[in-house]
Amino acid sequence: MSKTKDVRAAVEKELGFDPRVDSSDIKVMTIGGNVNLTGTVPSFPQYLQASAAARRVAGVTSVDNNLEVVLPESNYRDDAKLTTAANNALTANLTVPDSVEATAEDGNVTLSGTVSYGTERAAAAEAVAVLPGVRNVWNDIDISYDLDPVAVDLHVQEALDRSALVPDGSDVTATTKDGIITLTGHVRTWAEHDAVLGAALMARGVIDVGDNLQITG
């Protein structure tokens, strides 16, 4: 059996193993370690979890999630009710500042406003992603920044050095331009990859992270 078939079979098994994913309508295609997911799932959390399940599989180097969320009729909410539910969820989340708000249209929730940290931006998306009736989350939240890029680089590099998941001697580097951090270098696993991205997002003033990391497996 070829390595591609091994990876595809392993991803299919992992999707079927995860109780948080209904994999009955998911199709897995692979080229080497590149995984493409197509088909449908009944909720947005399952859309997210399908990607997470695929990334857990050894040999997977990238995941393209082209799944479509097709909600059961009982989960549909009209725009006004979903907008209210999304804003209530943002208010209840202590990590999300009051400057963030949500609007919904046909199950698509758009987040807007301004925050200081990437972690706040991510927390807003996580707060609304679990709501019944959500088909997609569009995160248009801006991140304000007024820091010296050199200082941001230093703070991120120090965070990487502290991380238990990033080994000593790692060649991962971070450079900042216009509030965007670009990460380059090599990591061994998706867990290490996610730890590096998480450390970068915690720096104040980071608008986005350019992910040029390579997973060696």
Question: pLDDT digit string (tens) for 16-33?
Answer: 999 999 999 999 999 988
Specify the higher pLDDT residue, 163 or 43. Answer: 43
Residue 148: band (very low, low, confident or very high) from pLDDT cuts 50, 70, 90: low
CA angle, corner 176, sides to 172 and 180, nearest 5? Answer: 105
Of 89, 112, 143, the domain-final residue: 143
Q: How far are the Cα atoms of 12, 44, 94 from residue 17, in angstroms, in the given order?
A: 9, 19, 33
In degrees rounded to 5, what are phi and psi of residue 11?
-65, -45
Of 69, 97, 117, the domain-final residue: 69
Q: How many domains does one find in the chain?
A: 3
Residue 161: band (very low, low, confident or very high) from pLDDT cuts 50, 70, 90: confident
pLDDT in tens, 69-122: 999 999 999 999 999 999 999 999 999 999 999 999 999 999 999 998 888 999
pTM to 2 decimals? 0.69
Give the span between the Cα atoms of 84 and 211, in whole angstroms: 34
Give the span between the Cα atoms of 212 and 157, in whole angstroms: 16
- The answer to whether residues 125 and 160 belong to one domain is no
- The answer to whether residues 55 and 80 belong to one domain is no
Give the span between the Cα atoms of 201 and 121, in whole angstroms: 9
Supply the angle between the helices 118-129 and 44-55 in degrees, to the nearest 10.
Answer: 120
Tokens of 51: 């990607």
What is the CB neighbour count within 10 angstroms for residue 63?
19
Q: Does residue 20 sit in helix, strand or coil?
A: coil
Q: What CATH code is carried by the domain that includes residue 8?
A: 3.30.1340
Bridge partners for 69 per DSSP: 41
Residue 84, domain extent: 76-143
Residue 145: band (very low, low, confident or very high) from pLDDT cuts 50, 70, 90: low
Express as a percent the part of the chain with pLDDT over 90: 57
Give the span between the Cα atoms of 214 and 37, in whole angstroms: 20
Q: What CATH code is carried by the domain that includes residue 174?
A: 3.30.1340.30
Residue 95 identity (one-letter amino acid): T
Of 143, 167, 196, the domain-final residue: 143
- Is residue 58 pLDDT above 80, yes or no? yes
